[in-house]
Structure 1
Amino acid sequence: MYTLDELKEITHSCRRCRLCSGRNNVVFGQGNHEANIMFIGEGPGREEDLQGLTFVGAAGQLLTKAIEGIGFKREEVYIANIVKCRPPNNRNPQEDEMQACIPYLRWQVKLIKPKIIVCLGSIAAKNIIDKNLRITRQRGQWVEKKGVKILPTFHPAALLRDDGKKRPFWEDFKEVKRVYEELIAKAD
């Protein structure tokens, strides 16, 4: 079994799909290696690709505010993506790109062992929960897989384009906090 650092090294030399040819940096993921809560998006954008860090652009700033709004720091959670390299022009990752990269994410989840996973947007939710999931219909509805509670919600970038998604997104984050506190209380 790899450590997260070993897995990160492996991804930095990855050439399993065409996304590697256009990347500046592999955006592996970051945060607490023993986080109880893991946030998963679709893939890095321009700022993330330049800095090699997850969710650092405008959508990332919004995500950070939401995480802090429910009483956590970014350093306490773990943030990753379905694909580790930026798709050209921020297009959605294609199926073969996601299939090439998702084994890395599965290893991250196995190593971190989160109690809660929050899928940020439909691409993350479809890859983690169900390929037929409809984010507008199923956001905010918990699913449990292998003992992990999983919640699909809107991607923070969607909130930047549509103010109407802000309230449901925030309600989902408050629900993450509630379920987290419930899980911690049961563990005591």
Structure 2
Amino acid sequence: MSDPTRFDLDDRQRAMLAEMGVRVWWPSSPAEPAVAPDAPAAQAPVATAAPAAVTPAAPSVAQPPARPAPLAPPPARAASPALAVKPLADGVDRMDWAALQQTAAACEACGLCAQRKNSVFGVGDVHADWLVVGEAPSEEDDLAGEPFAGQAGQLLDNMLKAVGLSRKAQGEGGVYIANVTKCRTPGTQNPSPEELATCAPYLVRQVALVQPKIILLMGRFAVQSVLQTTEPLGKLRGQVHTHQGVPVVVTYHPSYLLRNPADKAKAWADLVLALKTVQS
């Protein structure tokens, strides 16, 4: 059986991987056995003087162990600014693209809308074979009104180029990119389960409208929202899942890869798995 992560690369793809910081190398022959280092030369025994007599010390009284200081409780997640939230609009599951985007932009179904500057709906080819789903929008996404802006977006663009995709392409080579929530969270806070659940119908409808051949989930909150599991992302990698009948591949978020560049090679293996799934 062929290696599922093996992928023949052309010069352009190698250049894109270099931009990602991934060094591609396949072994051409079995590794040579390691040569054990020379053993250190034996040393002559050193004569030691006889130990001096030691007067036994008086027995000490056992002291009770010190009681550990109580652990401070973890800081509570700051609540979103007070807002009289409204129910999710009726008929989200039947809306076309224009109505869905307008509804998401005006949505006040959770407190996240209070601090948004822009609703971050999605970008790319609405009929693409690939659907990339990230987590909550970042501050840069909020300002741009587009998912995966800033450095994380640059890395994602290079990752997509390595497999022949672009957010600006239409038809072959196109990709649609969205997030699991359409509004950013305050500061650097993670989206709550309630916020993920409130916004989920928008993404469900986006999947139904795009009808992709593959969904690439980037980050643990994308996994939690779409696959409805709290299993660690590392345990879900390397296999093909399904959502709404569409194959799903899990990988790391570009923001994580910027902090942990050693895992870029794993992300490349995930991209290859997604590509092979589409081609099959």
Which residue pairs with 1:186 in the alignment? none
1:27 paired to 2:120: yes
Structure 2's unaligned 5+ residue stretches are 1-93, 169-173
Residues 1:78 and 2:171 aligned together: no
Paired-residue identity, % = 37
1:66 matched to 2:156: no
Instruction: Give the whole-Å Cα distance in 2 for the aligned partners of 1:60 and 1:179.
Output: 24
Which protein is richer in strand relative to its size? 1
TM-superposition CA deviations, 1:103-145 (whole Å, max 9, x none): 1111111111111001101111121113232102222321123
State whether residues 197 and 225 of structure 2, in contact with CA within 8 Å, keep that contact through their aligned partners in structure 1: no
**What residue in structure 2 maps to residue 135 of structure 1?**
233
Q: Is the 8 A contact 1:68 1:74 kept in 2?
A: no
What is the CA distance between 1:35 and its match in structure 2?
A: 1.0
2:135 to 34, 37, 42: 42
Instruction: Kindly provide the amino acid, as one letter, of the partner of residue 19 in structure 1.
Output: L
Q: After alignment, is 107-116 or 123-132 more displaced?
A: 123-132
Q: In 2, Cα distance between the equivalents of 1:130 and 1:84? A: 18
Secondary structure of the residue that 1:14 maps to in structure 2? Answer: coil
Using the alignment, how far apart are the partners of 1:113 and 1:107 within structure 2?
10
Instruction: Specify the alignment match of 1:5 in structure 2.
Output: 98
Residue type at the aligned position of 1:46: E
Note the alpha carbon deviations across 1:41-72, whole angstroms, 9 max, x for none. 11110111001011011111111100011011
Which runs of structure 2 are paired with 1:1-188 in the superposition (5 Å)? 1-75=94-168, 76-182=174-280
- Deviation track 1:74-107 (CA, whole Å, cap 9, x = no partner) reads 1310100110001011321111111111111111
Distance 1:44 1:105 in 2: 14
Does structure 1 conserve the Cα–Cα contact (< 8 Å) formed by 2:226 and 2:243? no
Q: May I ask how many residue pairs the two structures share in their alignment?
A: 182
Normalising by structure 1, we get a TM-score of 0.93
- Name stretches of at least 5 consecutive residues in structure 1 with no aligned partner: 183-188
| Distance across 1 between alignment mates of 2:188 and 2:162 | 27
Partner Cα distance (1:170, 1:68) in 2: 12
The 1-side partners of 2:267 and 2:276 are apart by 14
Structure-2 change in CA distance of 1:25 and 1:145 (3 Å): closer
- Aligned CA RMSD, in angstroms, stands at 1.1
Q: Tell me which structure has the larger Cα radius of gyration.
A: 2
Q: In structure 2, the residue corresponding to 1:90 is in which secondary structure?
A: coil
TM-score, normalising length: structure 2: 0.63
1-structure distance, mates of 2:189, 2:272: 30
Distance (Å, rounded) in 1 between the aligned partners of 2:248 and 2:205: 17
- What is the rounded CA distance, in whole Å, between the counterparts of 2:245 and 2:196 in structure 1? 24
Q: Which has the higher contact order (CA 8 A, sep 6+)?
A: 1
After TM superposition, give the deviation of residue 177 of structure 1 in Å: 1.5
Counterpart CA distance in 1 for 2:142 and 2:226 is 23
